[in-house]
Amino acid sequence: MKKVSITYKIPEAGIDLLKGKYDIWVNPKDKLLTKEELKEIAKESDALITMLADPIDSEVLEAGKDRLKIVANYAVGYNNIDIQKAKELGIYVTNTPDVLTETTADLAWALMLAVARRIVESDAFTREGKFDGWKPELFLGTDVYGKTLGIIGFGNIGQAVARRAIGFNMKVYYYQRHRLSSEEERASNAAYLPLDELLKVSDYVSLHVPLTDETYHMLDREKLSLLKKSAFIINTARGPVIDEQVLYEKLKNKEIAGAALDVYENEPQLTPGLKDLDNVVLTPHIGSASHETRSRMAQMVAKDIIQALEGETPEHLIWR
Ligand code: DGY
């Protein structure tokens, strides 16, 4: 029987599709596998379901080269996988696009509203029993309605974030390497601006680019210095897209109004001091974390694995 190994427990909806067809191994620990363990399971499996924090580098892929047919990454991002090596060895790599678009856009908006309206701080204040009556200047925040939103990376998720801005009457700008056609721009509720311009005019900047050599530290000291003092940054993409140490300094010195982060440069570690700032909202990489979406993702990886193991090209092969 062919063997499918899953590096961390995923929703049953996916496992159910594989049950009976294959020998299934699921990491029994509530802990990521080590590199050595990944190499071991790569060697003895026909298919792997991997998490975005699993480093599927050339060593792991080499270990699996005689048997492994597919690595199905349980995420839309696949910066944890050495794609070139996988291609070279003829191992399919798939991801989970589309199904998590709206869920991740919802989180970007939840974070934007939370940091603008100081939801986390005021929740803590209320729980601590400090609420002793309505006051005219208690927890004053910043409006979102009618402001300017800059979206960096205008793929499916960036565009879903832009659609939600219609209800908030926001002026929306986007930046990405490839400009959309004028027809696509009209339909998307956003106008193109070069990156520097977008950073200068935005009240809120939301990131939606994949992590690549090109986007690493895309917001470095120079770019972060272009932001208005009143601007907020929202990152639900990948941590290393921002120089987190510089971001921390700018938030601490109030050179930027605030940030809401779901991803970190050295995940799961945070830049020292970041969690002590009251102008940040921090969540633990939960962009796609709804019951519905995580189940759909589980079914998607399972279906891609079935296709690959039954001799077909998997639907979500990333290099098509
Ligand atoms: C992904 O799937 O790449 C997201 O980061 C999950 O939240």
From first to last of the 320 residues of the chain, give the pLDDT tens digit.
Answer: 999 999 999 999 999 999 999 999 999 999 999 999 999 999 999 999 999 999 999 999 999 999 999 999 999 999 999 999 999 999 999 999 999 999 999 999 999 999 999 999 999 999 999 999 999 999 999 999 999 999 999 999 999 999 999 999 999 999 999 999 999 999 999 999 999 999 999 999 999 999 999 999 999 999 999 999 999 999 999 999 999 999 999 999 999 999 999 999 999 999 999 999 999 999 999 999 999 999 999 999 999 999 999 999 999 999 96
> Does residue 178 form part of some domain?
yes
Its pTM stands at 0.96
> Does residue 87 form part of some domain?
yes
> Does residue 181 form part of some domain?
yes
Is 108 found in the same domain as 31? no
Q: Which residues are within 8 A (CB) of 79 and not within 5 positions of it... i.e. 6 or more apart?
A: 52, 210, 211, 212, 238
Is 236 found in the same domain as 218? yes
Relative to the CA of 75, which ligand 1 atom is closest?
2
Cα–ligand 1 centroid distance for 238 (angstroms): 8
If one residue of 54, 95, 104 were mutated to test the ligand 1 pocket, choosing by the most ligand atoms within 8 A of its CB, it would be 104
> Does residue 174 form part of some domain?
yes
Is 135 found in the same domain as 41? no
Q: Tell me which long-range contacts 184-188 makes (C-beta under 8 A, separation of at least 24).
A: 188/154, 188/159, 188/162, 188/163
Is 239 found in the same domain as 159? yes
C-alpha to C-alpha distance for 87 and 84, rounded to whole angstroms: 5
Q: What range defines the domain where residue 145 resides? A: 101-282
Is 120 found in the same domain as 74? no
Cα–ligand 1 centroid distance for 294 (angstroms): 10
Is 88 found in the same domain as 47? yes
Is 94 found in the same domain as 136? no
Relative to the CA of 285, which ligand 1 atom is closest?
7
Cα–ligand 1 centroid distance for 77 (angstroms): 6
Residue 238 is among the residues annotated as catalytic for this protein: yes
C-alpha to C-alpha distance for 155 and 135, rounded to whole angstroms: 43
Q: Whose CA is nearest to atom 2 of ligand 1?
A: 75
Q: Which residues line ligand 1 (CB under 6 A)?
A: 52, 75-77, 100, 285, 287-288
> Does residue 314 form part of some domain?
no
What's 269's DSSP letter?
Answer: B
Residue 208 is among the residues annotated as catalytic for this protein: no
Q: What is the pairing mode between strands 70-73 and 23-26?
A: unpaired
What's 168's DSSP letter?
Answer: G
Is 215 found in the same domain as 88? no
CATH number of the domain at 111, please.
Answer: 3.40.50.720
Residue 163 is among the residues annotated as catalytic for this protein: no
> Does residue 317 form part of some domain?
no
Relative to the CA of 286, which ligand 1 atom is closest?
7
Q: Which residues are within 8 A (CB) of 280 and not within 5 positions of it... i.e. 6 or more apart?
A: 115, 251, 258, 259, 260, 261, 274
> Does residue 128 form part of some domain?
yes
Burial class from Cβ neighbours inside 10 Å (0-12, 13-18, 19+) for residue 230 reads exposed
Is 108 found in the same domain as 219? yes
Bin 246: left if φ > 0, else alpha if -120 < ψ < 50, else beta.
alpha
Q: Whose CA is nearest to atom 7 of ligand 1?
A: 287
Relative to the CA of 263, which ligand 1 atom is closest?
5
